[in-house]
Amino acid sequence: MDELKLNPHELVLTLPELQDRIKRQPESYRLEFAAHFKVFVEKLDAFKENPAKKDTTMMDYFKFMAHISGVYQQQLAAFLTTGLLNILQQYYAILHPDVRTTLVSCLKVMRGKDIVAAATVLPVFLKLFRCKDKDLRELLHGSIISDLKGLNAKSKNHPVNKKLQAFIHGLLQDPNEDAAKRALVVMIELYKRKIWNDDKTVNTIWQGVLHANPKIIVAATKFFLVLDYDYKSDSESEDSSDQEDARELLKHHKVSKLKKAQK
């Protein structure tokens, strides 16, 4: 892109307008793209110096670049993928929530365009369960389930499944209990949806029964003892007490035993 020169001050289209035109006529807007890409790289360096700031200009640029990443894939794919993932992994704890959500949404867009591999992005999404941001965790949960459902729709994607199953197995030992529990609930939901319904998945969930954390134990034990286990409500009840969960589990277990005795 070195031969393409355009003064950034000459740019008159808004990013959404340019995005729409680039998708329709990519060759006609290479000059504008090159100029905006230069601005984006400069602003990205400045953003990294203060990643906790809510930078709406950068949020707009992240979204713009993600949406046109499939058009100018040669210029953007590797640079943008590495950049977004590095920011999330290095600064996830201090990023402004809106910026963090924007970055995750951009990676979702790029996954939809097959710009970034699931085996690359989904482990980062799983790590982000550590964030004290319930809305983000729900977004991540839905994205992970949806992605894996698509990857295994026609046939089992064993390479990706194997890698992520091993990753979740390791994440169960994460000192952050929210991350550990969410990872377990993701695996349980994948089993219930028949996406991951193999012995390896069951064995990993069983490891949760032996966990040191009561919340992990309760979530894993529900899977084995409660036939109508609602994984969705369990993933949303992060603030419920362990004692309440344990009492509810015991109640279900007693009812189940009574029904069996009556047969």
pLDDT in tens, 156-167: 999 999 999 999
Instruction: Summarize pLDDT for 187-231 with one digit per residue, the tens.
Output: 999 999 999 999 999 999 999 999 999 989 998 998 888 756 565
Distance CA 223, CA 172 (A): 15
Q: Which helix (H) or strand (E) holds 259?
A: helix 242-262
**How many other CB atoms sit within 10 Å of the CB of residue 196?**
23
| pTM of the complete model | 0.84
User: Side chain identity at 115, as an amino acid letter?
Assistant: I
* Interacting residues of 44 by C-beta distance below 8 A, sequence separation 6+: 58, 61, 83
Per-residue CA distances from 67 to 11, 114, 219 (Å): 19, 12, 38
Give the chain's mean pLDDT: 87
